[in-house]
Amino acid sequence: MRYIYSLILTALLSACVTSRYEYQQTIKTWQGSSLQALSEHWGRPDEKITTLNGRTVYLYKTRIGIKVLPHSSRNRGKSLTCITVFEANKKGIIVSAKSYGSSCTNSPQVQQKKKAPHRKISGKI
C-alpha cells in the first residue's frame, strides 16, 4: 500500500514540475519581442520599474485561488500567486522572462494566451 501512495505522490509532483517548466518555456517565447507587443497581448503590467542601468521591468501578478489547508489555521486563506517578470533593454526589447510562485503552471489555455504570437515553444521534457 505504501508503494502505491509513493507512486501516486511521485506522479503528482512530476506533473507540477513539468507544468512549471513548460510555463517557463512559454514566457521565454517573449525574449526578443518588444514591451509594446507584450502589453498588447498581456495587458497593462501590475508594476513597471525602471532600473538604475536604464532597463525596464514589467511585473504581472496572477492570483489563481485560495489555498485552504485543513488542521492549520495559520495557513488558511493564502492565495496562490504567480509573478511573471519581463526585463527589457533600453530599446524596449525583452531580454529575460522569469516567474516566481507556486502557481506558475501551464495548461493548453495558458500556453496559448501567454506565449508570444508566431513563436514556437521549445524545450519539452
> CATH 3.30.1450: does it fit domain 2-106?
yes
Residue type at position 62: T
pLDDT at res. 125:
39
pLDDT (tens digit per residue) in 62-77 = 775 554 555 555 555 5
pLDDT at res. 40:
92
Q: Where are the beta strands (DSSP E) in the chain?
A: 47-50, 56-67, 78-88, 94-100
Cβ neighbourhood burial of 106 (10 Å; 0-12, 13-18, 19+): buried
Residues in the chain predicted with pLDDT less than 50, given as ranges, are 3-18, 67, 124-125
User: Domains of the chain: which residue ranges?
Assistant: 2-106
pLDDT at res. 51:
94
User: What three-state secondary structure class fits 19?
Assistant: helix
**Cell 501567454 belongs to residue:** 114
pLDDT at res. 84:
92
Q: Spell out the alpha helix ranges (H) of 43-116.
A: 108-114
